[in-house]
Amino acid sequence: MTAFTIEPVREQRAEVRHVPLSRVVNVELRKMFDTRTGFWLMSSIVITGLLTMVATIAFAPDADLTYYTFAKAIGFPMTVVLPMIAILSITGEWSQRSGLTTFTLVPHRSRIIRAKAISSVAVGVAAMLFAFVIGAIGNLVGTAIAGITPVWDVSFAEGANIVLGSLLCLLTGTMLGMLIRSSAGALVAYFVYALLLPTVAGILASSQEWFRDLQPWVDLNYAQAALFNGSLTGEQWANLAVTAATWLVLPAVVGLRLVMKSEVK
Amino acid sequence: MITIDSLSKKYRSTTVVDDISFVAPAGRVTGFLGPNGAGKSTSMRMMVGLTAPTSGSATISGRRFADLPNPGVEVGVMLDASAQHRGRTGREILTIAQQMMGLHSRRVAEMLELVSLTETEANRRVGNYSLGMRQRLGIATALIGDPAVLILDEPANGLDPAGIRWMRDLLRDYADRGGTVLLSSHLLREIEVIADDIVMIGNGRIVSQGSKTELLQAAGTVVRAADMHALRRALDASGVETTVPGDGTLRTDADSTRVGRVALEAGVALTELRTADGGLEDMFLELTADTQRERKVA
């Protein structure tokens, strides 16, 4: 029979302490790694980072062998992987239905979402720091092989811009996850958003005069790209603020409302 | 204790849960019985704050679920054992719950032992679990915080007879130690063996509620004697109305105590005296008749 050795059940505990946000963040962080998908997504950051470093050393012409080249090359695959991590962290609760447990253990969905956003950003920052370190190693090794002096052409401000650009990509994933709440749907939407839209916008800008002047104010990808190309002018910051408000903040607010109201089946 | 007060849920024009009120007291197993689609799951989802009620309230020990500071250590919930990330191992799912509630890590191993999941099984991904194993894992997740209240939706689903027996003993013991258990089922037999109190729901409304003994008593009494004529005369004389079902017994709405006393006074030796079964079942079948696909044969 059952060996049930727990104390008599109490109707009410003397003191039950609130679940602190830090604990929710830690658990959400753990949940990003503990599935096969999550593990390989995280691993792919490391693997692609190292592969790009090797490829840059092997194929970049000597003249381009600068820290900026490395940082940009290694950062690129991350801007693809990080949003996927952010998306799956949110959509898994619906697509895998684990939300039934998550939202009863913490019956405040905005808290869960906040924790997921914080842990996603933490992963994003860690990944970018990793990219900078790998980039530095690549720069040292690559220039040593080529027999030239290493060039450190990324200022702290430019580095911060690159991190910000990557985090905007990642938060786009968070936003799409909230808005769509289905893994497949949100991933497709992200690729349409990140790969298809810029192409369409590019074609439109090259053929339509009126769109060319408008693009910086309506195209988040375009405004965001400036972050990866050095420092921004005041107008470029304004472009970024306007497009991010329209394409990131506004849909995120709508998405959060949907998350709060939607049924977790 | 779970208190449900005039709870209702409407989706546009359809009313899924229609003004239900009941109390699941501590120390007892309350069975929430109803056919599929009667509103059991929606009611339970409202109790744990997953679905917002249109009106009314559900409180646990006097507080709304959303107001509980650490719900997992106060209310154990299992709404759907299959609602877990298929890629996580059973152990990982328990570990997540243990960490979220801020419990000691040894609770994970304790719970695995309690629900008889072996080391190997615990390290397998839930996608490969049978329904019975998922139910056991779900029970473990519900119990890991050592809560005072349990809310379980169809916990016996997918369990084999031994598993149902195990579940019954577990919940019995839990209630005997002062815990509150609310469990739902669409199977009358299941509820009959596990529950102390029964709340029967159909089309979103409560159609019957009370202790199991009361509800069974309401079905009447079956009595049999060696001398059926004498028995019938005695009962008629005492004003106890009887019917003859045709299987050699008498059936009456009077309770068994009264029937026994009448027989004793008349000196009639009884060969059988028991509560009629089927009262609850008849009610349940009537309830399900509208939604059943099978047509009545007779």
CB contacts of B84 in chain A (<8 Å) are 96-98, 101
Instruction: Kindly provide the ipTM of the predicted complex, given to two decimals.
Output: 0.88
Any idea what DSSP says for residue B276?
P
Residues of B (175-204) whose Cβ lies below 8 Å from A: 177-180
B155 and A CB contact within 8 Å: no
With a cut of 90, say whether residue B253 has pLDDT above it: no
Query: A51-87: per-residue pLDDT in tens?
Result: 999 999 999 888 888 999 998 889 888 888 999 999 9
Instruction: Report pLDDT digits (tens) over B14-28.
Output: 999 999 999 999 999
Q: Does the pLDDT at position A12 exceed 60?
A: no
A17 vs B contacts (CB less than 8 Å): 69-70, 102
Q: How many angstroms away from the CA of A130 is the closest CA of chain B?
A: 27
Q: What is the pLDDT of residues B202-233, one digit of tens each?
A: 889 998 899 988 887 777 888 999 889 899 99
Is B69 an 8 Å CB contact of chain A? Answer: yes
Q: CA of A186 to nearest chain B CA: how many angstroms apart? A: 18
Chain B neighbors of A19, CB-CB under 8 A? 69-70, 100-102
DSSP H helices, chain B, are 40-47, 90-101, 106-114, 119-122, 131-143, 161-176, 188-194, 212-217, 228-237, 256-266, 279-289
What the block records as the tokens of B246 is 């045709």
Q: Is B163 on the interface with A (CB under 8 A)?
A: no
Closest A-chain CA to B180? A11
Contact A74, A44 (CB under 8 A): no
Q: Is B128 on the interface with A (CB under 8 A)?
A: no
B68 touching chain A per CB within 8 A: yes
The alpha carbon of residue B293 is apart from the nearest alpha carbon of chain A, in Å, by: 25
* Three-class DSSP labels, B244-255: CCCCCCEEECCC
With contacts defined as CB-CB under 8 Å, which chain B residues touch A38? 87
The alpha carbon of residue B18 is apart from the nearest alpha carbon of chain A, in Å, by: 19
A12 touches chain B (CB under 8 A): yes
Give the sheet arrangement for strand B2-11, strand by strand.
B14-24, B2-11, B55-60, B63-64
- Nearest CA of chain B to the CA of A69: how many Å? 38
Residue B141, chain A, CB below 8 Å: the answer is yes
Q: Quick check: B92 contacting A, CB < 8 Å? A: yes
pLDDT digits (tens, 9 = 90+) for A141-161: 999 999 999 999 998 999 999
Residue A7 banded pLDDT, cuts 50, 70, 90: low
CB < 8 Å & 24+ apart, contacts of B90-94:
B90/B117, B90/B121, B90/B122, B90/B123, B90/B124, B90/B126, B90/B129, B90/B133, B90/B137, B91/B122, B91/B123, B92/A34, B93/A101, B93/B126, B93/B137, B93/B141, B94/B122, B94/B137, B94/B140, B94/B141, B94/B144
Chain B touched by A206 (CB under 8 Å) = no
Summarize pLDDT for B87-111 with one digit per residue, the tens: 999 999 999 999 999 999 999 999 9
pLDDT in tens, A106-136: 999 999 999 999 999 999 999 999 999 999 9
Query: What pLDDT does residue A17 have?
Result: 85
Nearest to B273 by CA among B291, B255, B285: B255
